Amino acid sequence: MARAKQRDKGVVPELRAALEEMPELARRYGNPAEKVEQVTIEKYVGENLLTKEAISRTLKLMREELAGENPTPLERLLTERVVATWLQLQFFEQLHVHSIGKLSIAQAEHYQKCVDRAHKRHLSAIRTLAQVRKLLKPGGVNQINIADQQVNVAGEPPSSR
């Protein structure tokens, strides 16, 4: 690992073999979402170690709560996205609040647009996770629309009224 950090290209075959033998190393050192999270937290709180650790812990707890017991790989991935978009939204909200009264109207509008876009991405991530969970439930999708007509595809037959 020291050779890799020093950019010694001769170590690449050994690295590949180690990553093949221990895939958890790839997850630990090669998780782009984690790297983005770390950078965002640093930009969000600066050098305050207590706040950095508290936010990291909060995000970990959010992941655990959202993922639930025995999440599928897709649910884990979507949970990561929900947590990431939540953090980004908080970051842009902070930038916007700190800029109030200091910027021109055009600059303030730019910050508000950043908040709005982050909010849309966050809601989209939440919606996608909810939809996937609904689809993964036994009998979760009972009907789909085909050519403007509902068709039963799974689950219980529709009750007659």
- pLDDT, tens digit, for every residue of 89-122? 999 999 888 888 898 889 889 989 999 999 999 9
Long-range contacts of 82-86 (CB under 8 A, 24+ apart): 82/122, 82/125, 82/126, 82/129, 83/37, 83/59, 84/33, 84/36, 84/37, 84/125, 85/118, 85/121, 85/122, 85/124, 85/125, 86/62, 86/122
List, for residues 13-27, the tens digit of each pLDDT value: 998 898 899 888 888
Q: So what's the pLDDT on residue 160? A: 44
161 has a pLDDT exceeding 80: no
